[in-house]
Amino acid sequence: MLASPVLILGARSDIGRALARGYAAKGCEVILAARGDVTADATDLALRTQAKVRSVSVDITDGAPDAFFDSLGVVPGTVVMVAGLLGDQAESAAHDEIAARVMDSNYAGPARYLLAAARRMANVPDGCIIGISSVAGER
């Protein structure tokens, strides 16, 4: 079991939920972070696994990763980034603002948040940062 919490950014995605179940089943404390409300997911996961689970809201496109990590009140031992946005290819090709949202959700936002995580985790023994991409990155 990991001694410090596992932070999952993009916890409302299918892979985020699956990873959360896996970590919680091993007895790890889990912090679910996503756009929107993940309280129901956290409550369900805690009931099913008896693990300590909490939820926080985050928008990785907001450009404020340091404030987000400060608000956690703890330095995670593991950070998993699975946040992203598939978007619509035709709309992205036709509208710069839509394309920018997709790019910020799939590259710039995750990069900023993982860099902020790395700064905080520099002295965490056995700390781990995991970034998972999707087909959206290919577009």
Whether pLDDT at 1 is above 90: no
In a domain? residue 128 = yes
Provide the mean pLDDT of the chain: 90
The pLDDT assigned to 72 comes to 96
> Total structural domains in the chain?
1
pLDDT, residue 23, reads 97
Look up residue 15 and give its amino acid.
I
Give the pLDDT confidence of 10-34 residue by residue, as tens digits. Answer: 999 999 999 999 999 999 999 999 9
Please check whether residue 1 lies inside any domain of the structure: no
Instruction: Give the tens place of pLDDT for each residue, 82-103.
Output: 998 788 888 887 888 888 888 8
Cβ atoms 107, 85 nearer than 8 A: no
Tokens of 130: 């995991």
Q: What is the pLDDT of residue 25?
A: 95
Q: 87 lies in a domain?
A: yes
Q: Establish if 101 belongs to a structural domain.
A: yes
Whether residue 88 lies inside any domain: the answer is yes
CATH number of residue 109's parent domain: 3.40.50.720
Structural domain containing residue 25: 6-138
